[in-house]
Amino acid sequence: MTDAPMTDASSSPLSGNVLFYNQPEPLDPARHGGLGVNAADKPYAFVGATNFVPLTVTEFAAGALSFPVVFMGDQKQPVAVMGLRQGENLYVSNEGDYRPDAYIPAYVRRFPFVFADDKQNSRLILCIDRGAPIVTEGGETPLFVDGQPSDYTKMAMEFCNNFEQERLRTEAFVQLLGELDLFETRTANFTPRNPDGSAGEPQRLAEYFAVSEDKLKALPAEKLAELRDNGALGQIYAHLVSLLGWDRLIALAFQRSAQTPSAANN
């Protein structure tokens, strides 16, 4: 894949809706030559606005240590489940601190940069979220130096290039699972305890797609060997192990709920 252009991009018809980004603009030295990025005390506070974040397939193992990795929607988009309710993220405190022991998805780390799809010219264009609070005129880390991309911008472009390659690899992985008919619909449930200790009425937390262990076991030996050799089998097992993380989410939700009343009284 070629590097994304950054000049004469503002006239290109771009498409794509991206989580977290409010005002993405094609990066252009004529338009953004004076912009820079300031360091933030809580750089990942914006993640607190959502309860899921997209993951690439190569992040499954690292993500599995922190949260459930599931597939969502018609496209079977892999995501990290970070909360039980829409708009609530249990890995970001009310003060905007990201849990230090939790994995930070690459989707989050690339912010405020992102690629936009220029379908007319069959290319990707590097954009920056002009609405991000850390992006300001005269920011401490400039985007351009003497009209050329700064080292910071070059690193951002490389990161986004790598992310795009991983995104395409993830699409191929999901397509392969679909072709093998390995997906099944699952639900995450929680059974509360009544005051007397008996089991209460089960509550459904979420419905999602996951790999069926039964379908996986039923694959021919040569197909399993193929999945093993191309690395897909390891990613599948990382996904399956991650589903144990629903219990951790429930525990974090109880912890958050217990902290809220005391915080409100202070």
Q: Break the chain into its structural domains and give their ranges.
A: 24-188+201-256
Q: Which amino acid is at 5?
A: P
SS3 206: strand
The overall average pLDDT reported for the chain is: 88
Report pLDDT for 142. Answer: 96
Q: How confident is the model at residue 263 (pLDDT cuts 50, 70, 90)?
A: very low
Which residues on adjacent β-strands are paired with residue 190?
203
What average pLDDT score do residues 76-94 get? Answer: 94
State pTM to two decimals: 0.85
Alpha helices, DSSP H only, in the chain? Answer: 29-32, 60-64, 106-109, 151-179, 213-217, 221-229, 232-242, 245-265
Report pLDDT for 120. Answer: 72
Task: Indicate whether 19 pLDDT > 70.
Answer: yes
Task: Indicate whether 135 pLDDT > 70.
Answer: yes
Q: Per-residue pLDDT tens for 96-127?
A: 999 999 999 999 999 999 988 777 767 788 99
Question: Cβ neighbours of residue 242 under 8 Å, at least 6 residues apart?
Answer: 60, 63, 64, 67, 68, 69, 70
Q: Is residue 90 packed enough to be buried (19+ CB in 10 Å), middle (13-18) or exposed (0-12)?
A: buried
What average pLDDT score do residues 166-186 get? Answer: 97
The residue with greater pLDDT, 67 or 197, is 67
Task: Indicate whether 147 pLDDT > 70.
Answer: yes
**Which among 68, 64, 65, 61 has a CA at the least distance from the CA of 82?**
68
Share of the chain above pLDDT 90, in %: 73
Average the pLDDT over each of 163-172, 173-182, 185-194 and give the range with the smallest value: 185-194
Cα–Cα distance for residue pair 178/78, rounded to 1 Å: 13
